[in-house]
A and B are shown apart, each in its own frame.
Chain A
């Protein structure tokens, strides 16, 4: 399961780029700082590689493998 801590997201788009199965998308809702945060649009495609978690510079995204 992918969780996004929306208030930390800065809309850099790194997680969307590194995801090999294109689970994530930049959403349309803005957070308190005006950034449109990433949302897991297709969570069923997640293979649990945690590349998004490793590549997020703002500690805003994390994956719990096996907890769907």
Chain B
């Protein structure tokens, strides 16, 4: 009989159990991401010492604290520029930015715009629980219209942001949306995203029973999980136009964009070598 979990070699086990509430989807996101990394390491496509995690602030950014890899926990919303800085200095690194919808779509919104525009060589994982969980359940840009939160007791009047369309519009190499209710599919998305050059953006719909679920009457982790699973639409090869993000019509998950254009670092190093040639000696 084995004594440890198969993912224990990749975890800082002394920090477990995690600080997340019971039934939080973030553990599933981290687990599937580590399984995908494990598969890539076994294949020899990735070296363990070259993987690093960067996270900002929020429950999701606490994901950087548990994996046994190099990791950095930086200021709110600034995980992407930090990761890109490391990547420019050490192009061999595989930088994984983990963050929540508040960290990446809201306060770090400008940074994701420009990382997407540059096609920066990062893997950006956005765990989307549709609310600001850590600060007490305020309205997030990703909260679907009509839902109740702490700051919208009569329902959310705002339109929600669809990050898949944003990422596709600005030309990321890989854009996918997964859900913690479909963990095997999510692992496959991470597995593919890890081998991409350029920016790979994976949005993960996650559950927050403690803060999000309590305002919409799905207080128990299982209820919210089943409710989200009902609203997930799995499509094999969906187009970006089909990427519905709507509480009523459902959330389409799958792989939206998969192309192979040169990433920022490649282009940057090319320009750098040209510039060095032109320098008078």
Binding site for B on A (CB under 8 A): 1, 3, 5, 7-8, 10-14, 16-17, 33, 35, 51, 53-60, 62, 64, 67
Closest chain-A Cβ to B98's Cβ sits at a distance in Å of: 15
Question: Closest chain A residue to B31 by CB distance?
Answer: A59
Q: Which of B31, B222, B226 is within 8 Å of A12, CB to CB?
A: B222
Bound-complex Cα distance A62 to B26 (A): 18
Residue of A7, A11, A55 near B183 (CB, 8 A) is: A55
A51 neighbours in B (Cβ, 8 Å): 183
Nearest CB of chain B from residue A56's CB, rounded to whole Å:
7
Once the chains bind, are A10 and B23 in contact (CB under 8 Å)?
A: yes
Determine how close the nearest CB of chain A comes to the CB of B239; give it in whole angstroms: 28
Known: A17-B222, A54-B31. A3 touches B16 (CB 8 A): no
The reply to whether A57 and B24 contact each other, CB–CB distance below 8 Å, is yes
Seen from chain B, the residues whose Cβ lies within 8 Å of a Cβ on chain A are 1-2, 5-8, 11, 16-18, 20-28, 31-32, 180, 183-184, 187, 220-222, 225-226
Q: Are A7 and B2 in contact (CB under 8 A)?
A: no
Instruction: Please list 21 pairs of residues, one from A and one from B, whose beta carbons are closer than 8 Å in the complex, sorted by A's number.
Output: A10-B22, A10-B23, A11-B22, A12-B222, A13-B220, A14-B23, A17-B225, A35-B22, A54-B28, A54-B31, A54-B183, A55-B28, A55-B183, A56-B28, A57-B23, A57-B24, A57-B28, A58-B20, A59-B5, A60-B5, A62-B5
In the complex, what distance in Å separates the CA atom of A4 from the CA atom of B93? 35
Secondary structure class of chain A's binding surface, majority of residues: loop
**B18: contacting residue among A13, A17, A58, CB under 8 A:** A58
Least CB distance from A40 to B in Å reads: 13
List 14 other contacts, CB 8 Å, given A57-B24, A59-B5: A8-B16, A10-B23, A11-B22, A12-B22, A13-B23, A13-B221, A54-B31, A56-B31, A57-B26, A57-B27, A57-B28, A58-B16, A58-B18, A59-B31
